Amino acid sequence: MANTNDPDGFTPAYHMYGGVIRPARMRIQSAYDTAIYSGDMVTLASGYITQGTATSTPVGVFYGVYYNDSSGNPTFSKVWTADTATLGSADAEALVYSDPGIVYEAQFTAGTPTVAFIGSKYTLSTTAGDSNSGRSKEGVTATTSSGIALHVGYKLTPSNSIAAYARGFFTFPTSVFAV
């Protein structure tokens, strides 16, 4: 059975060392001008969470955000909508999986991965998320080994073959918080 091309970002799968997977609380600046979807890789800029790029040093993976909207209504969302204004321009509270021991499931979005890909780093494919589901559309390209996502294995299910659009497991060993 062929794999389906349906990337949905990075989802925590397990912890390398048996730790508990939970998001850390970080900040997003009010009116930050780029959308961030649940499952997107994010980075830090001047202490604030920003949307990551294909090769930027990650701080982790975005889960969601709390803030008071400009009318004062408490809001939780899986998406940071670009240019969201908060009450009094206060920082929003981002929930980010930032533990370098977390292993994420994600899809290869280009190229044809093989077993030999395990142990190499790959570049992210950054695509705008799905505004209906609030989920990321990021994945990993299988065409280069100079990126930031370390491939540590494949999801072992009958519906996932090691071929185009395979789902694999990845870490970010060069993250902001990696030792």
- pLDDT 10s digits, 101-142: 999 999 999 889 999 999 999 999 888 889 889 999 999 998
Question: According to the model, what pLDDT value does residue 145 have?
Answer: 64
Question: Domains of the chain: which residue ranges?
Answer: 20-97, 100-171
| Cα–Cα dist 176/79, whole Å | 22
Question: According to the model, what pLDDT value does residue 97 have?
Answer: 97
Contacts of 123 (CB under 8 A, 6+ apart): 54, 55, 140, 141, 143, 144, 146, 147, 148, 149
Question: According to the model, what pLDDT value does residue 178 have?
Answer: 73
Question: According to the model, what pLDDT value does residue 23 have?
Answer: 96
Question: According to the model, what pLDDT value does residue 179 have?
Answer: 56
Q: Do 135 and 160 meet the contact criterion of CB atoms below 8 Å apart? A: no
Q: Which of 105, 96, 101 is nearest to 66 (CA)?
A: 96
Question: According to the model, what pLDDT value does residue 161 have?
Answer: 93
Question: According to the model, what pLDDT value does residue 1 have?
Answer: 61
Question: According to the model, what pLDDT value does residue 174 have?
Answer: 83
Stretches where the chain sits below pLDDT 50 are none
Question: According to the model, what pLDDT value does residue 34 have?
Answer: 96
Task: Using CB atoms within 10 Å of the CB of residue 77, give its burial: 0 to 12 exposed, 13 to 18 middle, 19+ buried.
Answer: middle
Contacts of 56 (CB under 8 A, 6+ apart): 43, 148
pTM to 2 decimals?
Answer: 0.93
Question: According to the model, what pLDDT value does residue 143 have?
Answer: 73
